[in-house]
């Protein structure tokens, strides 16, 4: 999400805006009050890490029942020679 503010607003809300940047927001500072002339963009230097949600990829990955079976001899021979 992008937050647009004017220079005076950015000055007054600086610490709050920095907290938003740390949460992954992008701040656009505009020259005028109708936000039509952007002059600066503030983003985090390092991308914020998404919090891991256990089980979020459930049922998206399928492992074949024979995934750990020995390789066929003709394929195994390519690794030996």
The pLDDT value given to residue 81: 64
Q: For residue range 38-59, what is the model confidence (pLDDT) as tens digits?
A: 999 999 887 667 788 898 888 9
**Cα–chain-centroid distance for residue 48?**
6
Domain of 32: which CATH number?
3.40.1620.10
- pLDDT category, 16, cuts 50, 70, 90? very high
With contact defined as beta carbons under 8 Å apart, do 33 and 43 qualify? no
How many domains does the chain contain in total?
1
* Containing structural domain, residue 72: 2-80
At 48 the pLDDT is 63
Please, are residues 4 and 28 in contact by the beta-carbon 8 Å criterion? yes
- The first and second tokens of residue 43, run together, are 């983003």
């Amino acid at each position: 999400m992008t937050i647009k503010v004017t220079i005076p607003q950015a000055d007054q809300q600086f610490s709050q805006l920095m907290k938003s940047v740390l949460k992954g927001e992008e701040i656009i500072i505009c020259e005028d009050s109708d936000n039509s002339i952007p002059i600066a963009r503030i983003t985090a230097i390092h991308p914020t890490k998404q919090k891991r949600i256990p089980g979020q990829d459930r049922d998206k990955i399928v492992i074949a029942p024979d995934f750990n079976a020995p390789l066929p001899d003709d394929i195994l021979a390519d690794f030996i020679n």
